[in-house]
Structure 1
Amino acid sequence: MARVLVVITPAEGHINPSLGLVQQLVKCGEEVTYVCTEEYRKRIEATGAKVLTYTYARGSFADDPVLKPIIYKHPYQFIQFVLRGLIEPVIPEVFALTEQDSYDYLIYDYLLGWGGQMIAERLGIPAVCSITSFAFVKPLGSEHDVDGLDDEEIQSIYESTMNTARQLADRYQLSVPDIHDIFKAYGRLKIVHTSRYFQPQVEELDDSYIFTGSSIVPRTDAPDFLLDRHQLPYAHTVYISLGSILNNNIDFYKLCFEAFRNEPIQFILSSGKDTDMEPLAGHIPDNFIVKPYLPQLEVLQQVDAFITHAGMNSTSEALYYDVPLVMIPLTSDQPMVAQQVQELGAGVIVDKNELAPAVLRNALLEVLNQSSYKQHARAIGESLRQAGGYERAAEMVMNVVSKAQSEPIPTRN
């Protein structure tokens, strides 16, 4: 039995895909300690893992003018977000919680980048990277022309980022990384929670990247939600959600009501736990069911299409259940995810800057009325289901880590 330390970015789209792997490792006899925030304690403990928690001010970070998630125009912007928004606040908390214990290996979230290497190096253990989006061949922002920002802005971001990296490295007596290595998948093994078929530019990734498909396990903290489609007066049912971070969007929900109130379709809308829907209480159409939080896995098995922000977690779960998508990418990797779905024929993109009731309505009706979208969603879903899931992921982790532990650990001068 090995002692495993798991450190995952505290967000739905990162926590949820890790749960199956952790559950399977516990089933195989591993002793898992999972470091995260208090809000995810219940679902993590359901896997059998021990939970250590820290405080992470996600709300204030999301409103920070420098670190607020955006469509990145230069890779340095994304690297700065990773370092100052995640590594700097999270890694010291992890060290404080784990410094009195010993572990045999680490599983860390890819969005922590160099932070994962910091933990592994300081504890002297091998690392496995859990990738819950696509494996990035290049950092976000690299797809834009270098003139997306002027030279002065780029230099300012570089200096600010490297100053933070030097301070962290000095504090923990570690080497300072090159700026391009701050966001990097470290470790001998990278578990990618998607399929080779769905991954863009897969031919540019080496054999350390293992594609295990969607990791789908029931969520014990999800509310009950029953929908008898046979009792509905409509032929189609559609789910609407903007995920768990950017869902406080009253204007978008109002637009949805306007776009679809006269359509013979049942809509199920997840508005978010912290969204005040009271201003719209008298405007919700009869064909809408609105809840602050829904059991997404259960809902997706009962719908014909999904209107989404194209977060990787939501997208993967929808495609796992063969659900085609209408995508409104808002930030971060969402444009990349949406583009891949559209290229593979499983959905359509609606530009957030051109969003209007007629535009959204036409996009949905196209997805519902053209059977090719469902067929292509089913093809991606089949690739996700056949990739091995968390059972294969756990097997690969234990095999690779066992080999790594049998090798001598290099000493630092």
Structure 2
Amino acid sequence: MTRFLLVMPPLTGHVNPAAGIAAELTARGHEVAWTGTETVLRPLLGPDAQVLGTGTRAFRAQGGHGLAALRSLWEGFIVPYARFTAKPLDTIVREFRPDALLVDQHTPAGAIAAHRHGLPWASFAPGAMELGRPYRALPQVEAWTEGLLRGLWERAELPEEEFTDPRFSPALLLATTGPALTGEAAPPAHHALVGPVLRTRPADADFPWERLTPGRRRVLVTMGTLAGELGAGFLSRAVLALELCGPGVQPVFAAPRELLPELPSHAVAVDRAPVLELMARGELDAVLCHGGMNTVGEALAHGLPLVTAPIRHDQPFVAAQVAAAGAGLRVPFARVTPERLAEALGTVLESPDVRERAVRVGRDLLAGGGAVAAADRLEALVGAPARTPL
């Protein structure tokens, strides 16, 4: 039996795919423990998961667009979260004594702890932001992020000459995407593009299944867990757009009710929708979303075309790749009108070519092997020689 420690940020879209990998490792007889903010991890993972908490602290909400959003992410979350969790992580590694770590790219303190203790570690990329180096044309931005990471390395009192970018394990990087959505025909050998990890989630007994009207085409509208108030204006335009699509199209909104305007009687609205269950049952015909990797990967894995309205971070990159692959359309989040949005939705609902390409891209993503391939690569990682601890 091998011990794996998963170091994850308190972000639903990062924990959910990692949970599928953890389940596969557990099924193979390995011991899996999680570390991070227990108040977030526990509700997502259930009572049986082994969670070694690093404490709870509030962080600034992410906001803005473009470079402002990048600064908000790094200065408001990644760096302070790394500082807050550094000492608890070091203690957890000493006491749990894992054989290897799976470290989310948003939790560099995990990679630093692995380096300190001479343990093999894999990077986990549930998004595409770091894979494609979207800011490579802006060397000052890349230098700024490297400076922040070097600051964390120095704070951990590790030798400067041993600095390794904690976002990128030199041994293994697991990404829940595929070449069709990265633009990389031949990624490095230690990059495993395993595709979406489709984890079975508990059935949602509270979802109003009886309100799904037979004979109507359905569009899921979800702008992710971090859109917050920023998404309210877009959601209002989405409501109008779906009304313009006519009574034959039924929207399913997954958003806090206070962010939605008055809805037509045939619309369904819930705070959180059982997305995978809706897709697996064949209840959806298209997805309108923010371009997050999880939602995009899950939709394409079920052959569903997309309309994406990216907000920040890796979402514009993912949305551009979806459009380039012909599996959906991209619209501007802040400026799209209800009429233009209705036109885009009509195209993905009516076009056989778009649906066929969505099916094809989804098939290619699933060929990455998902949780099974990820677990295979992690097992192989443990056989690699570890560095001598400091």
Q: TM-score range by the shorter chain?
A: 0.7 to 0.9
Task: Tell me the residue number matched to 1:22.
Answer: 22
Is the partner of 1:348 in helix, strand or coil?
Answer: strand
Task: Tell me the residue number matched to 1:101.
Answer: 96
Q: In the alignment, is residue 41 of structure 1 matched against residue 42 of structure 2?
A: yes
1:272-291 aligned at under 5 Å gives the runs: 272=256, 276-277=258-259, 280=261, 283-291=262-270
Q: 1:354 to 1:251 in 2, by over 3 A?
A: closer
- Structure 2 distance, partners of 1:335, 1:183, is 24
Alignment check: 8 A CA contact 2:218 2:285 kept: yes
Amino acid at match of 2:14: H
- Residue deviations 1:40-87 (CA, integer Å, cap 9, x gap): 3144247x64112244556x4225xxxx46313898887656752543
Q: 1:408 to 1:198 in 2, by over 3 A?
A: closer
Amino acid at match of 1:61: R
Task: Tell me the residue number matched to 1:62.
Answer: 61
1:310-329 aligned at under 5 Å gives the runs: 310-329=291-310
Shift of 1:171: 4.1
Task: Tell me the residue number matched to 2:177.
Answer: 194
Shift of 1:385: 2.2
Amino acid at match of 1:266: Q
Shift of 1:93: 4.0
Task: Tell me the residue number matched to 2:195.
Answer: 213
- Structure 2 distance, partners of 1:194, 1:308, is 17
- Structure 2 distance, partners of 1:183, 1:408, is 16
Alignment check: 8 A CA contact 2:176 2:193 kept: yes
1:246-285 aligned at under 5 Å gives the runs: 246-248=227-229, 249-262=231-244, 263-264=246-247, 265-272=249-256, 276-277=258-259, 280=261, 283-285=262-264
Is the partner of 1:72 in helix, strand or coil?
Answer: helix
- Structure 2 distance, partners of 1:98, 1:62, is 29
Alignment check: 8 A CA contact 1:238 1:306 kept: yes
Amino acid at match of 2:45: I
Alignment check: 8 A CA contact 1:74 1:140 kept: no
Amino acid at match of 2:242: F
- Structure 1 distance, partners of 2:75, 2:146, is 6
Task: Tell me the residue number matched to 1:172.
Answer: 156
Task: Tell me the residue number matched to 2:333.
Answer: 352
- Structure 2 distance, partners of 1:94, 1:54, is 7
Structure 2: which 5+ runs fail to align? Answer: none
- Structure 2 distance, partners of 1:411, 1:40, is 29
Q: 1:336 to 1:239 in 2, by over 3 A?
A: same
Q: In the alignment, is residue 409 of structure 1 matched against residue 390 of structure 2?
A: no
Q: 1:219 to 1:69 in 2, by over 3 A?
A: farther
Q: Which residue, out of 263, 272, 275, partners 1:293?
A: 272
- Structure 2 distance, partners of 1:299, 1:260, is 19
- Give me the identity figure in percent: 23
Matched residue pairs, number?
A: 384
- Residue deviations 1:186-235 (CA, integer Å, cap 9, x gap): 141112222233332243x3100112221111123755435369x72653
- Structure 2 distance, partners of 1:5, 1:189, is 15
Task: Tell me the residue number matched to 2:105.
Answer: 110
Shift of 1:107: 0.8
Q: In the alignment, is residue 372 of structure 1 matched against residue 353 of structure 2?
A: yes
Q: 1:77 to 1:241 in 2, by over 3 A?
A: closer
Shift of 1:389: 1.7
- Structure 2 distance, partners of 1:408, 1:289, is 52
* Greater displacement, 48-57 / 251-260: 48-57
Is the partner of 1:95 in helix, strand or coil?
Answer: helix
Q: In the alignment, is residue 383 of structure 1 matched against residue 339 of structure 2?
A: no
Amino acid at match of 1:209: H
Alignment check: 8 A CA contact 1:193 1:214 kept: yes
Alignment check: 8 A CA contact 1:223 1:295 kept: no
Shift of 1:5: 1.0
Amino acid at match of 1:131: A
- Residue deviations 1:115-149 (CA, integer Å, cap 9, x gap): 34302112221101122123734534335x66xxx
Q: 1:200 to 1:24 in 2, by over 3 A?
A: same
- Structure 1 distance, partners of 2:319, 2:345, is 15
What RMSD, in angstroms, separates the aligned Cα atoms of the two structures?
A: 3.1
Q: In the alignment, is residue 225 of structure 1 matched against residue 207 of structure 2?
A: yes
- Structure 2 distance, partners of 1:251, 1:76, is 23
Alignment check: 8 A CA contact 1:75 1:142 kept: no
Amino acid at match of 2:79: R
Alignment check: 8 A CA contact 1:129 1:189 kept: yes
Q: In the alignment, is residue 122 of structure 1 matched against residue 109 of structure 2?
A: no
- Structure 2 distance, partners of 1:360, 1:8, is 35
Is the partner of 2:114 in helix, strand or coil?
Answer: helix
TM-score by length of 1: 0.82
Is the partner of 1:397 in helix, strand or coil?
Answer: helix
Q: 1:345 to 1:105 in 2, by over 3 A?
A: same
Is the partner of 2:209 in helix, strand or coil?
Answer: coil
